[in-house]
Amino acid sequence: MTEETPSKSPSPQPDQVASRRPLGSRKSAWAGRLANWAVTQGYTPNQISQASIGFAALGALFYSLSPFGPGILQFLWLILAAATIQARLICNLIDGMVAIEGGQGAKDGPFWNEAPDRLTDLFLLVGAGIAAGNPGLGALAAALAIGTAYLRELGRAEGFPPDFSGPLAKPQRMAVLTIGTVVAAFYAGAWTLNMTLWIIVAGTALTIASRSMRLIGNLKKR
């Protein structure tokens, strides 16, 4: 067992590898060490996936608290909300590494790999909408985010490779939300978060359009 990658049992199956989101961070030393630590501690991929829901729920709470109290508290809540976004993404990265490279996958793993992501998008984006004073905008962003995942899985159900294309797939969407949240902690919180959510809505709508056209094209060619 090396410090870069978790200990392996069986080799990952080709279909498992093909269905994974391509992430450069998966090859980083810190991710390998963290996944290795999770394996040695006995954490299962499903537990890590479930933890992402907890982080997102905390993020929604921090967002919801941010409009209240003195400025220093508003700053603190938004910085903590941004931290939970990154914690959610780390869970999303590590659960797959523990499951595949670590050979710890379970039969119900596909459910826990996908379902928590839909909840975490909902919690974080609606939470950001509440912080912005515009929960409807947050709900729209969340609905569009869930729509991108639906199209990806619809394509897979039709036998095509999963479409992780953007311009605002999950990693990019969460990067925009993280940056916008940190900026909002320092400047014009509600206004900045509104602008951030509008960027996410526009970019995610374009993502849905591009994935839809690609899927329709693939179906017509079949």
SS3 letters for the chain? CCCCCCCCCCCCCHHHHHCCCCCHHHHCHHHHHHHHHHHHCCCCHHHHHHHHHHHHHHHHHHHHHCCCCCHHHHHHHHHHHHHHHHHHHHHHHHHHHHHCCCCCCCCCHHHHHHHHHHHHHHHHHHHHHHHCCCHHHHHHHHHHHHHHHHHHHHHHHCCCCCCCCCCCCHHHHHHHHHHHHHHHHHCCHHHHHHHHHHHHHHHHHHHHHHHHHHHHHHHHHC
**pTM, to two decimals:** 0.88
Residue 95 counted as domain residue: yes
Residue 1 counted as domain residue: no
Residue 109 sits in a domain of what CATH number?
1.20.120.1760
The alpha carbon torsion through 164, 167, 169, 174 (nearest 10 deg) reads 150
Domain hosting residue 144, numbered range:
20-221
Query: How many structural domains are present in the chain?
Result: 1
Phi, psi angle pair for 196, to nearest 5°: -60, -45
Q: Quick one: which of 110, 105, 84 has its CA closest to 35? A: 105
* Separation of alpha carbons 55 and 134, rounded Å: 22
Residue 87 counted as domain residue: yes
Chain segment 143-165, per-residue pLDDT in tens:
999 999 999 999 999 999 999 99
Chain segment 28-78, per-residue pLDDT in tens:
888 889 888 888 888 999 999 999 999 999 999 999 999 987 889 999 999
Residue 11 counted as domain residue: no
Chain segment 167-211, per-residue pLDDT in tens:
999 999 999 999 999 999 999 889 999 999 999 999 999 999 999
Largest separation between any pair of C-alpha atoms in the chain: 60
Residue 185 counted as domain residue: yes
